[in-house]
């Protein structure tokens, strides 16, 4: 039953593909014909004079119609007596005689966008009669502004309430994420993304990271690919061609209720372009871009690094450091580097008594017993090359380019659009292979078979190939850098090793690549059948298969000392080097159909009803094979393994889910001004036991078009005014396993003689089976989020000034949270629906559009804010210092927002002994690392931080003295768009920023000087640490936590001092475009319709309060791929319409 029933589905998908292809081939030559009675005209905007492409021109009384080309020009067969009807969305229609002067027909924008149609769930609605909070971004908002790495990025700064983030700048591994109106749950709530009516499925599992030993199921950690990239639907979108997008609608409130159980994070509806009316239009869009290294933390150079070590150790030893300590000697050497640039420890040296520099003597000696050796057992030399790894690894002329070609047209019975894209994103990484290549083909067809039947196909094939050095995934290149003395290459040009530390550049270049190839196909067949004048049936079948193939190679690298005389052991060795292959196959099916009824009763009652059902199913299939000990690394192949069976491992994961749904919507409008809408969805999920499987979600909304009231007729100020309100429910099933109600069993087998945990019964260790350590859950259900929204839309001064304001409250009353039960249960209890999260906020947009002479301009601003509070976590109230991520180490705290940061209250820097004494007086019993004043040890000193004893218990402790310091999610997210057009010149900018965010990176090298003595250091503290002669320094006394002291731990406790918890506010010039459209007169001669050239820049400028050097948009943790430098992006672009 399971599989057989879906064979027809696959077949339908396949036939729709064939049919679409066939249709295209057949109709391609059937272009519009010119007859002898043809008339030609041009349509322009009445205000701007710009041509209007795509306007429809019809002969009145006939079905004949054409549309204007890019230059606004049309040609139509019409008798001189005929009347031409001209229409274009958003403009007032016109009728004109075919014999009149058609050379400059001017259309005026409709005073209100009454006709503007917005895509909503299962259908469209007029914008004027919308009652929900729906934001729309159309192609013109993001096209012709330079490359967009992900269509979701187009929403940034355009839609209030939507926050788009990427955590990395690595090509293809940006890890896109976005939130609509902030957090909805402590469990993940990705927005539901829908392309042309079909949801983009989110992979249930991520693949384990390349190099990980297969065998660990990763379903406990959904979304983790191990590459630092969350596999959410936003990332699946990164291969979608932004040039194919017509519009994006974001459903933010109860308007999403029609998507029921998956709409908790909001719904994003993407509509792709179709063939427009008129002649075939061939368009080319191309860009060439270059990346410039953006913000990144600065590194200390050799002498700074060495001085810092000595100062830190001097402080830790209270002025009397142990000068024979290995790192003190290393720091001291760094300040007395010999002129040769390195010390070969295989030979002896003498110390010049005056300069302190070493002089080469040249008697052979064992490196470990060389008096010049600070004490390293494994290194062969000491080098002083003052290497700045940021410059060594990153920069170069990273070039990216994108080429788009599209062909679109429409005949009377059918329309088509074919588009192709090639894109190659280059990398700032100067070593190894790193790129992201995209290949797209999309074909959209529609044809009218009879008056009643219309069929549409939309087929997209996307290929996304990501190439990256494997060393970037294992932390060696993107971790903390080596100390600055490292050479980047040996004397002979070979890779350099210092003991067991290795040049990161060579690891990137020689360590092998990880090649990921993603193939995604979206095959979508739609049908519309008009049963009566008022009743239609719309059906869709979609099959979206995707395949990800990863080939990861970790090659053996040979290393040398600087002189090139001693080869170090290989790293990785042949036994550790590996080749891994992993393939993920996912098939997503969707069948949906609905009836749509629209009618007007009398003159006052407009009614529309939609009702239908849907079935979806997703099948996930992953397997992986890995082998170490390869013959050699030249050819990556699983066949070349020469190891025993323990060097090979395989793993498989399979899963599936299905969702069945009924849905419906009812719209009623009285006199077009009192609007009412109800929607509902009844969802049944395979994740639940049959008896608890189905659940209803529903919502209501209403609108009042005040502007249409009689009392508004006389005023001149308002051109639009509408009040909206909504209430609705949406669901979230994240946090619920795929087979939650079925108890699974784990099997354990021996992995060889070292596997002592498997009993030996009979001749051999046995296989044993255990029930899962997690209980099945029979009584938990979807989180249900209640959305409440009130909104106001307005237009003033003939819509020169337009705006919206929305206020919302969301309550997740049955949030899934973990509850600790007595251990006698004997297994981990599933999360239960017993938490409560409240989210509330507001968002507003304001736009001004006008013209001065030939200069048209617009200004638009958006501001939004949201707050949340964990109203109930069943009493969980223990604060922990730092960022709370919901783990047991840093649990969420009831009464505070998700992602709260708690810390001490900073009281200032200790500048006198009296203060130090006062701090030491409350030092006893502290648990924050304050060294005690004992004997000759001073405890808190001048130059250290001090904190407030918030709870007045006479000691400094956590959690007792912790206070709330803010949250990591941004607040007051704003953007400002400016646009100018003048005589073919267009100019636009987008500024974007965040008003408030608390950034706590954690106690790490990025924030704390000399957390690790053996690594490179940031330069943020250089010259800015407290010393008796520099008492107003930003940073406290340098320390390395040596001599049993923990001054760093103490001084760098998360606190309200901005040295630890930074202010993440910023404003940034997100986008700047300067374009020029070459006058029509010049290009007509070469048979072109439109040529535009432009320059665009992204992230060109910013002002940020972050002081450790990292980009303000970078994520909090700055780990692994998040360390990939952000960049400024300069683009030259060309648009040509043939």
Q: Which of 820, 937, 951, 1012 binds another protein (CB under 8 A)?
A: 820
Work out whether strand 342-344 and strand 123-126 pair parallel, antiparallel, or are unpaired: unpaired
Task: List binders of another protein among 730-769 (CB under 8 A).
Answer: 738-739, 742-748, 750, 752-762, 764-769
Nearest CA among 814, 815, 806, 813 for reference residue 788: 806
Task: Identify the helix (H) or strand (E) that includes residue 581.
Answer: strand 578-601
**Residue 215 binds another protein, judged by CB under 8 A:** no
Between CA 946 and CA 236 the distance in angstroms is 48
Which one of 326, 461, 790, 829 is in contact with another protein (CB under 8 A)? 829
| Least spacing, CB of residue 833 vs another protein, in Å | 13
- Residue 443 CB, nearest approach to another protein (Å): 23
Quote the Cα angle for 174-1133-848, to 5°. Answer: 85
Asked if 655 interacts with another protein (CB under 8 A), we say yes
Q: Tokens representing 157? A: 């700064």
CA angle centred on 236, ends 230 and 242, rounded to 5°: 130
Kindly state whether residue 319 participates in binding another protein, applying the rule CB under 8 A. no
Segment 321-380, which members bind another protein (CB under 8 A)? Answer: none
Query: Which three-class secondary structure state does DSSP give residue 314?
Result: helix
Residue 616 or 1007: which CB sits closer to another protein? 616
Based on CB atoms, which residue is closest to another protein, 111 or 646? 646
Contact 116, 132 (CB under 8 A): no
Q: In sequence order, what are the beta bridge partners of 553?
A: 579
What torsion do the CA atoms of 1024, 1026, 1032, 1036 make, to the nearest 10 degrees?
Answer: 90
Number of neighbours of residue 306 by Cβ within 10 angstroms? 25
- Site mask, another protein, residues 1054-1093, x = CB under 8 A? ----------------------------------------
Indicate the residue among 2 and 713 with the shorter CB distance to another protein: 2
> Is 891 a residue that touches another protein (CB under 8 A)?
no
Q: Which residues pair with 994 in a beta bridge?
A: 973, 1066
Minimum separation from the CB atom of position 595 to another protein (A): 9
DSSP string across 926-950: --S----EETTEESS-TTSEEE--T
Compute the least distance from the CB of residue 957 to another protein, in Å.
Answer: 17
Binding of residue 826 to another protein (CB under 8 A): yes
Q: Which is nearer to another protein, 391 or 652 (CB)?
A: 652
User: Which residue, 613 or 915, is less far from another protein as judged by CB?
Assistant: 613
Q: Does 613 bind another protein (CB under 8 A)?
A: yes
CB of 267 to another protein, least distance (A): 22
Q: Which of residues 552-571 bind another protein (CB under 8 A)?
A: none
CB of residue 775 to another protein, shortest distance in Å? 6
Pattern 698-737, another protein, x by CB under 8 A = ----------------------------------------
Number of residues that bind another protein (CB under 8 A): 72
Coil, strand or helix at 768: strand
> Is-contact 240 195, C-beta < 8 A?
yes
Sites for another protein among residues 536-555 (CB under 8 A): 539
Does residue 822 touch another protein according to CB under 8 A? yes
Distance in Å, CB of 746 to another protein, minimum = 8
- Which residue's CB is nearer to another protein, number 638 or number 827? 827
- Tell whether residue 453 is a contact of another protein (CB under 8 A): no
Q: Beta strand pairing status for 198-199 and 347-351?
A: unpaired
When asked if residue 828 is in the footprint of another protein (CB under 8 A), the reply is yes
Pick the closest to residue 91 from 129, 43, 139 (CA basis): 43
821 binds another protein (CB under 8 A): yes
Going by DSSP bridges, is the β-strand pair 398-410/414-425 parallel, antiparallel, or unpaired?
antiparallel
- The count of other CB atoms within 10 Å of the CB of residue 283 is 18
For 665, the token pair is 């919507």
Would you say 366 or 763 has its CB closer to another protein?
A: 763
Q: Is residue 951 at the binding interface for another protein, with CB under 8 A as the rule? A: no
Nearest one of 794, 1003, 1013 to 881, comparing CA atoms: 1003
In the complex, least distance from residue 661 CB atom to another protein, rounded to whole angstroms: 9
Q: Which of 1078, 1067, 1072, 1077 is nearest to 1129 (CA)?
A: 1072
The residue among 658 and 963 lying less far from another protein, judged by its C-beta, is 658
Alpha carbons 39 and 83: distance in angstroms, whole number = 12
Name the minimum Å distance from CB 449 to another protein.
Answer: 16
> Considering the rule CB under 8 A, would residue 807 count as an interface residue with another protein?
no
> In b/e form, how buried is each residue of 1062-1072, taking b as 16+ CB within 10 angstroms?
bbbbbbbbbbb
CA–CA separation, 143 vs 378, rounded Å?
57
Please report how close the Cβ of residue 587 comes to another protein at its closest, in angstroms. 13
**Beta carbons of 333 and 374 less than 8 angstroms apart:** yes
The one segment of 646-654, 712-720, 889-897, 1122-1130 that binds another protein by CB under 8 A:
646-654
Show contacts with another protein in window 87-116 (CB under 8 A). Answer: none
Stretch that binds another protein, among 89-97, 152-160, 588-596, 632-640 (CB under 8 A): 588-596
Q: What is the C-alpha separation between 607 and 597, in angstroms, rounded? A: 8
**Of 319 and 690, which has the nearer Cβ to another protein?**
690
Using the rule CB under 8 A, is 660 a contact of another protein?
yes
Nearest approach, Cβ of residue 638 and another protein (Å): 21
Minimum CB separation of residue 132 from another protein in Å reads 26
Q: How many CA atoms lie within 13 A of 296 on its CB side?
A: 23
CA distances 427 to 109, 240, 432, 437, Å, are 44, 20, 10, 11
Q: How far is the CB of 751 from another protein (least distance, A)?
A: 11
Q: Sort 563 into a burial class: Cβ within 10 Å, 0-12 / 13-18 / 19+.
A: middle
| Residue with smaller CB distance to another protein, 412 or 652 | 652
CB 420 within 8 Å of CB 408: no
Q: How far is the CB of 654 from another protein (least distance, A)?
A: 4
Where does this chain touch another protein (CB under 8 A) — which range of 567-575, 682-690, 861-869, 954-962? 682-690
Contact 503, 476 (CB under 8 A): no
In terms of CB distance, is 366 or 761 closer to another protein? Answer: 761
Q: Which is nearer to another protein, 3 or 354 (CB)?
A: 3
Interaction residues for another protein, span 961-1020 (CB under 8 A): none
- 693 touching another protein, by CB under 8 A: yes
Give the shortest CB-749-to-another protein separation in angstroms. 10
Kindly write out the interface string for residues 390-419 of this chain, putting x where it contacts another protein by CB under 8 A and - elsewhere: ------------------------------
Nearer to another protein, 90 or 539 (CB): 539
Q: Is 525 in the site for another protein (CB under 8 A)?
A: no
Instruction: List CB contacts of 975: < 8 A, sequence separation 6 or more.
Output: 156, 157, 158, 861, 862, 990, 991, 992, 993, 1070
Question: Given CA atoms 49, 50, 56, 58 in this order, what sign does their dihedral have?
Answer: positive
Question: Binding of another protein at residue 652 (CB under 8 A)?
Answer: yes
Judged by CB under 8 A, the residue of 823, 936, 1029, 1032 near another protein is 823
889 binds another protein (CB under 8 A): no
Distance between CA atoms of residues 867 and 875, nearest Å? 20
Among 128-136, 496-504, 680-688, 868-876, the segment contacting another protein (CB under 8 A): 680-688
């Amino acid at each position: 039953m399971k599989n057989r029933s879906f064979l027809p589905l696959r077949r339908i998908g396949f036939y729709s593909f064939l049919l679409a292809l066939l249709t295209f081939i057949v109709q391609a030559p059937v272009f519009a014909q010119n007859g002898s009675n043809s008339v030609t005209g041009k349509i322009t905007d009445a205000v701007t004079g710009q041509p209007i492409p795509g306007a429809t021109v019809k002969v009145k009384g006939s079905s004949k119609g054409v549309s204007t080309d890019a230059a606004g020009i049309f040609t139509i067969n019409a008798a001189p007596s005929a009347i031409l009807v001209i229409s274009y969305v958003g403009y007032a229609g016109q009728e004109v005689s075919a014999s009149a002067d058609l050379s400059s027909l001017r259309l005026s924008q409709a005073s209100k966008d009454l006709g503007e149609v917005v895509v909503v769930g299962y259908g469209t609605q007029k914008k004027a009669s919308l009652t929900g909070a729906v934001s729309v971004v159309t192609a013109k908002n993001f096209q012709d502004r330079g490359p967009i790495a992900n269509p979701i990025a187009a929403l940034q700064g355009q839609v209030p309430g939507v926050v788009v983030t990427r955590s990395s700048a690595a090509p293809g591994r940006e890890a896109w994420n976005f939130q609509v109106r902030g957090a909805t749950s402590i469990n993940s709530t990705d927005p539901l993304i829908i392309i042309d009516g079909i949801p983009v499925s989110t992979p249930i599992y991520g693949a384990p990271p390349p190099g990980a030993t297969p065998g660990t199921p990763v379903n406990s950690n959904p979304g983790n690919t191990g590459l630092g990239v969350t596999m959410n639907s936003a990332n699946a979108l990164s291969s979608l061609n932004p040039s194919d997008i017509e519009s994006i609608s974001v459903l933010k409130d109860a308007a999403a209720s029609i998507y029921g159980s998956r709409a908790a994070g909001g719904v994003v509806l993407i509509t792709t372009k179709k063939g427009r009316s008129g002649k075939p239009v061939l368009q080319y869009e191309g860009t060439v871009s270059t990346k410039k290294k953006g913000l990144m933390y600065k590194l200390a150079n050799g002498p700074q690094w060495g001085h810092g070590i000595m100062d830190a150790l001097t402080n830790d030893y209270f002025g009397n450091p142990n000068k024979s300590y290995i790192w003190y000697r290393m720091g001291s050497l760094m300040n007395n580097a010999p002129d040769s640039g390195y010390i070969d420890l295989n030979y002896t040296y003498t110390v010049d008594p005056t300069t302190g520099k070493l002089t080469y003597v040249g008697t052979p000696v064992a490196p470990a017993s060389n008096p010049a050796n600070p004490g390293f057992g494994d290194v062969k030399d000491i080098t002083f090359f003052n290497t700045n790894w940021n410059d060594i690894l990153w920069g170069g002329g990273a070039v990216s380019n994108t080429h788009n070609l599209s062909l679109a047209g429409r005949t009377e019975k059918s329309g088509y659009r074919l588009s192709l894209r090639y894109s190659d994103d280059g990398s700032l990484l100067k070593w190894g292979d790193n790129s992201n290549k995209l290949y797209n083909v999309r074909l959209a067809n529609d044809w009218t078979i009879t008056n009643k039947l219309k069929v549409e196909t939309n087929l997209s094939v996307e290929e996304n190939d990501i190439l990256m050095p494997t060393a970037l995934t294992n932390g060696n290149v993107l971790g903390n850098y080596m100390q600055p003395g490292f050479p980047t290459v040996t004397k002979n040009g070979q890779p350099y090793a210092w003991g067991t530390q290795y040049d990161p550049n060579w690891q990137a270049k020689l360590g092998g690549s990880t090649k990921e190839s993603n193939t995604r196909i979206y095959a979508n067949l739609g049908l519309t059948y008009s049963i009566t004048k008022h009743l239609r049936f719309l059906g869709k079948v979609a099959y979206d298969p995707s395949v990800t193939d990863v080939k990861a190679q970790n090659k053996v690298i040979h290393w040398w000392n600087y002189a090139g005389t001693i080869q170090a052991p290989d790293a990785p060795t042949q036994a550790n080097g590996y080749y891994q292959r992993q393939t993920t196959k996912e098939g997503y099916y969707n069948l949906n159909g609905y009836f749509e009824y629209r009618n007007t009763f009398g003159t006052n009652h407009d009614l529309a009803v939609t009702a239908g059902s849907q079935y979806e199913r997703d099948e996930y299939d992953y397997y992986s094979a890995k082998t170490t000990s390869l013959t050699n690394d030249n050819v990556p192949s699983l066949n070349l393994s020469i190891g025993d069976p323990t060097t090979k491992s395989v793993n498989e994961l399979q899963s599936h889910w299905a969702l069945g749904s009924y849905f419906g919507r009812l719209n009623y409008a009285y006199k077009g001004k009192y609007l009412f809408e109800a929607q509902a969805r009844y969802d049944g999920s395979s994740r639940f036991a049959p008896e608890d499987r189905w659940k209803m979600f529903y919502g209501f909304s209403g609108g009042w078009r005040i502007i249409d009231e009689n009392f508004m007729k006389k005023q001149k100020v308002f051109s639009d005014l509408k009040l909206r309100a909504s209430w609705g429910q949406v669901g979230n099933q994240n946090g619920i396993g795929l087979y939650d109600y079925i108890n699974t069993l784990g099997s354990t087998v021996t992995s060889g003689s070292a596997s002592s945990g498997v009993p030996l019964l009979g001749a051999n260790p046995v296989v044993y089976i255990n029930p899962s350590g997690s209980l099945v859950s029979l009584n938990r259900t979807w989180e249900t989020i209640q959305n409440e929204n009130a909104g106001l839309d307005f237009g003033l001064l003939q819509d020169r000034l337009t705006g919206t304001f929305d206020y919302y409250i969301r309550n997740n009353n049955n949030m899934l949270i973990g509850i600790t039960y007595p251990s006698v249960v004997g297994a981990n209890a599933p999360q239960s629906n017993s938490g409560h999260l409240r989210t509330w906020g507001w968002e507003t947009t304001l736009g001004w559009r006008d013209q001065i002479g030939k200069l048209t301009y617009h200004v638009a601003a958006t501001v939004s804010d949201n707050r949340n509070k964990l109203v109930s976590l069943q009493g969980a109230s223990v604060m922990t210092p730092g960022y709370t991520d919901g783990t047991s180490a840093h649990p969420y705290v009831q009464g505070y927002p998700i992602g709260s940061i708690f810390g001490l209250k900073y009281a200032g820097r200790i500048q006198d002994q009296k203060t130090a004494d006062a701090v030491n007086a409350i030092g006893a019993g502290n648990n924050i690392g304050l060294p005690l004043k004992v004997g000759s040890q001073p405890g808190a000193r001048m130059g250290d931080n001090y904190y407030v004893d918030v709870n007045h218990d006479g000691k400094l402790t956590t959690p007792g003295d912790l206070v709330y310091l803010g949250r990591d999610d941004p607040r007051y997210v704003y953007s400002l768009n400016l646009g100018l057009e003048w005589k073919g010149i267009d100019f636009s900018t987008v500024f974007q920023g965040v008003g408030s965010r608390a950034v706590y990176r954690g106690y790490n090298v990025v924030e704390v000087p000399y957390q690790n003595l053996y690594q490179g250091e940031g330069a943020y503290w250089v010259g800015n640490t407290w010393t008796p002669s520099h008492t107003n320094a930003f940073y406290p006394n340098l320390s390395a936590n040596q001599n049993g002291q923990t001054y760093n731990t103490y001084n760098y406790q998360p606190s309200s001092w901005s040295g630890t918890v930074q202010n993440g506010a910023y404003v940034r010039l997100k986008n700047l475009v300067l374009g020029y459209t070459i006058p029509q007169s010049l290009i007509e001669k070469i048979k072109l319709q439109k040529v535009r050239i432009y320059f665009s820049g992204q992230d060109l400028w910013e002002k940020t309060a972050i002081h450790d050097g990292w980009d303000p948009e970078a994520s909090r943790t700055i780990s692994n791929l998040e360390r990939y430098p952000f960049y400024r992006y300069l683009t030259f672009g060309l648009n040509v319409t043939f």
